[in-house]
């Protein structure tokens, strides 16, 4: 057994497909090149083929995941035309009489080493791009076979040293049974995406420098415990096949609920929307019966690319999401970078406390032109359905007003250009900073809705860094202080007559259902994978009974007692 970290829950059993890293058998480095013209012709032919290939991949990518992800290939195309990179290769062929493939390899090594030495994350990322493009060119020069995923043949467990979110976005979730990566933790974006797509994942394998698995090996991966079994015994296979079948049966049973309303036994109706960060996650959410999008984490649109996305690029993505939501509302949260989310091309200075630092709305209000680009794109998309705008990490009235000022400027620009948008677009804020809870009554007067972000709220209220494994046992979403904060926020929203929802991970925890009912919170937004489980819980709950349970929880003084009470309630209301 190999121990790793749980990336995404669930058991997967299947054959491994190890994603090969490109490693080459080059011709003798000292080979004399007699025919320079022939060698150049080979080089140009390789460049042409590589360019066509990248164009095709870009096109396919665009169709599957949309323009935001596919634009990374523009950076790859630019490298093939980069005069410095190309003249380095040509120089090696011409002056040192080396074969084209040797020249390409030496040029890659030269630039990668040079960029790697720089203390600049952006340049390090560019080194990866050069490696990727250079390897593609090498592959053509050497006539090496294409590395293709066996996606159209049979399901497999993908094993890789490392998997970027864009690589993951490229996978067909119907064929990828599970994912194992040597590098990466629970909070890596790949893990977040795997969870949203429902693909079990184990990452961060302990003490493993080399992958202990070969293509064709049989694997069991247990995403709940973060374990991997390579070529397991028959007994293990039987045990885990049983567990996996139970999980699949449960999933199937839940799937029939996709079209059913989320209503308690005694008629309290809830709206269950989805948190998404990509168009692929949106499709998953719709399959699971999501009623709209309660949180569109737009920062993923800004990642895995070389520059900030333009108005047009963002508009295309937002429009797609809004149209697919088919009349249900889509809450688009403005850029929330900083903290654990970084952009390669916009390096943020190192901070002692990044979660208390330059992040989210603070960045948007500092870089207003950038903010206006995003707001303009959202406004333009608002004519295609029901769009709402949400500002993250608000802690004062001034931030809301300043953000709205930029919004009004964007509206003015559109008016002047004669471009239509929803003039009554709703504006809301994330309630995720304790200050916002304490002054929720004042903030409520400024906005159309609140959405409680429990992930950050818990870390700020309890002073427990949500990324720190060492203190993970202190991160208690059911802490009495949190329940009180939820109540304060809900009461303020109700008094002001504005909408309220919850979009932190707690919304997807079925144990919390009685709390929402008691607090009168009828809008929840969660990971697509949690939708059916929470709906199932609601269908098995009597709202009046739930309120009693929640009332007693809110008066309790220990998280453990609150959790026990909520779990007992589930136990009492689960059919055997």
Which residues does the annotation mark as catalytic?
189, 503
H-state helical runs in 337-496: 361-366, 368-381, 397-417, 434-438, 440-444, 454-462, 480-496
Tell me how far apart the alpha carbons of residues 251 and 179 are, in angstroms, rounded to a whole number: 19
According to the binding rule CB under 6 A, does residue 503 interact with ligand PEP? yes
**Cβ atoms of residues 203 and 188 within 8 Å:** yes
Tokens of 388: 């709402």
Shortest Å, Cβ 375 to ligand PEP: 19
Counting contacts by CB under 5 A, is residue 499 touching Mg ion? no
Closer to ligand PEP by CB, 385 or 504: give it: 504
**Rounded (10°) CA dihedral 516, 517, 518, 522:** 70
Stretch that binds ligand PEP, among 164-172, 197-205, 451-459, 533-541 (CB under 6 A): 451-459
Site string for ligand PEP, 412-441 (x = CB under 6 A): --------------------x---------
Binds ligand PEP (CB under 6 A): choice among 204, 354, 453, 477: 453
Q: Does 455 bind ligand PEP (CB under 6 A)?
A: yes
Residue 223 touching ligand PEP (CB under 6 A): no
How does 286-323 read in b/e, with b if 16+ C-beta sit within 10 Å? bebbbbbbbbbbbbbbbbbbbebbebebbbbbbbbbbe
195 neighbors 280 (Cβ within 8 angstroms): no
Count of positions on this chain that bind ligand PEP (CB under 6 A): 10
Residue 509 binds ligand PEP (CB under 6 A): no
Q: Which of residues 330-349 bind ligand PEP (CB under 6 A)?
A: 336
Q: DSSP H helical segments within 182-298, as ranges? A: 189-197, 234-255, 279-287
Of 87-95, 178-186, 260-268, 451-459, the segment contacting Mg ion by CB under 5 A is 451-459
Tell me which residue of 486, 520, 487, 532 sits closest to 506, measured CA to CA: 486
Site for ligand PEP, residues 365 to 394, rule: CB under 6 A: none
Candidates 86-94, 233-241, 413-421, 448-456: pick the segment binding ligand PEP (CB under 6 A).
448-456
Cβ neighbour number for residue 156 with a 10 Å cutoff: 22
Chain residues 382-441 in contact with Mg ion, contact rule CB under 5 A:
432
CB-count burial class (<10 Å; 0-12, 13-18, 19+) for 274? buried
**Shortest distance, position 389 Cβ to ligand PEP, whole Å:** 15
> Applying CB under 6 A, does 456 fall inside the site for ligand PEP?
yes
CB closer to Mg ion, 135 vs 489: 489
**Helices and strands of the chain, counted as H and E runs:** 22, 16
Which residues sit at the interface with Mg ion, rule CB under 5 A? Answer: 432, 453, 456
Which residues sit at the interface with ligand PEP, rule CB under 6 A? Answer: 295, 297, 336, 432, 453-456, 503-504
């Amino acid at each position: 057994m190999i121990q790793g970290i749980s990336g995404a829950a669930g058991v997967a059993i299947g054959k491994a497909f190890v994603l090969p890293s490109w490693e080459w058998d080059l011709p003798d480095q000292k080979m004399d090149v007699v025919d320079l013209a022939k060698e150049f012709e080979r080089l140009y032919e390789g460049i042409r083929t590589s360019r066509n290939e990248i164009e095709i991949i870009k096109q396919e990518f665009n169709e599957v995941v949309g323009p935001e992800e596919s634009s990374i290939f523009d950076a790859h195309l630019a490298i093939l035309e980069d005069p410095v990179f190309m003249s380095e290769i040509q120089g090696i062929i011409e002056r040192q009489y080396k074969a084209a493939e040797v020249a390409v390899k030496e040029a890659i090594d030269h630039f990668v080493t040079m960029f790697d030495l720089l203390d600049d994350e952006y340049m390090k990322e560019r080194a990866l791009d050069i490696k990727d493009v250079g390897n593609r060119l090498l592959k053509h020069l050497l006539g090496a076979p294409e590395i293709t995923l066996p996606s159209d043949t049979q399901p497999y467990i993908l094993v890789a040293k490392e998997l970027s979110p864009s690589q993951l976005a490229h996978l067909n979730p119907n064929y990828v049974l599970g994912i194992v990566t040597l590098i990466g933790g629970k909070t890596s974006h790949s893990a977040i995406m795997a969870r949203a797509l429902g693909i079990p994942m184990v990452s961060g394998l302990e003490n493993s420098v080399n992958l202990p698995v070969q293509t064709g090996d049989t694997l069991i991966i247990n995403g709940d415990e973060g374990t991997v079994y390579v070529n397991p015994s028959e007994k293990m296979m039987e045990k885990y096949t049983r567990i996996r079948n139970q999980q699949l049966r449960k999933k199937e049973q839940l799937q029939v609920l996709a079209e059913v309303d989320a209503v308690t036994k005694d008629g309290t109706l809830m709206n269950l929307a989805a948190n998404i960060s990509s168009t692929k996650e949106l499709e998953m959410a719709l399959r699971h019966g999501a009623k709209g999008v309660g949180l569109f984490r737009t920062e993923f649109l800004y990642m895995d690319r070389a520059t900030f996305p333009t108005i047009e690029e963002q508009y295309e993505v937002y429009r797609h999401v809004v149209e697919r939501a088919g009349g249900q509302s889509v809450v688009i949260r403005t850029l929330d970078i900083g903290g654990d989310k970084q952009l390669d091309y916009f390096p943020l200075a190192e901070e002692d406390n990044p979660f208390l630092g330059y992040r989210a709305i603070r960045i948007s209000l500092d870089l207003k032109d950038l903010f206006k680009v995003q707001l303009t794109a959202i406004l333009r998309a608002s004519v295609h359905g029901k769009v709402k705008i949400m500002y993250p990490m608000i802690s004062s009235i001034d931030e809301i007003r300043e953000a709205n000022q930029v919004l009004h400027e964007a509206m003015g620009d559109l008016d002047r250009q004669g471009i239509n948008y929803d003039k009554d677009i709703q504006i809301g804020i994330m309630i995720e900073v304790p200050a916002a809870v304490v002054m929720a009554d004042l903030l409520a007067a400024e906005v159309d809705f609140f959405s409680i972000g429990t992930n950050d709220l818990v870390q700020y209220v309890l002073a427990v860094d949500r990324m720190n494994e060492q203190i993970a046992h202190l991160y208690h979403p059911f802490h009495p202080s949190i329940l009180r904060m939820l109540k304060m926020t809900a009461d303020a929203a109700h008094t002001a007559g504005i909408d309220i929802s919850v979009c932190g991970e707690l919304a997807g925890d079925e144990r919390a259902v009685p709390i929402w009912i008691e607090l009168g919170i009828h809008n929840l937004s969660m990971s697509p994978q949690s939708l059916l489980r929470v709906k199932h819980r609601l269908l098995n709950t009597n709202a009046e009974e739930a309120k009693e349970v929640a009332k007693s929880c809110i008066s309790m003084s220990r998280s453990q007692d609150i959790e026990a009470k909520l779990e007992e309630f589930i136990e009492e209301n689960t059919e055997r």
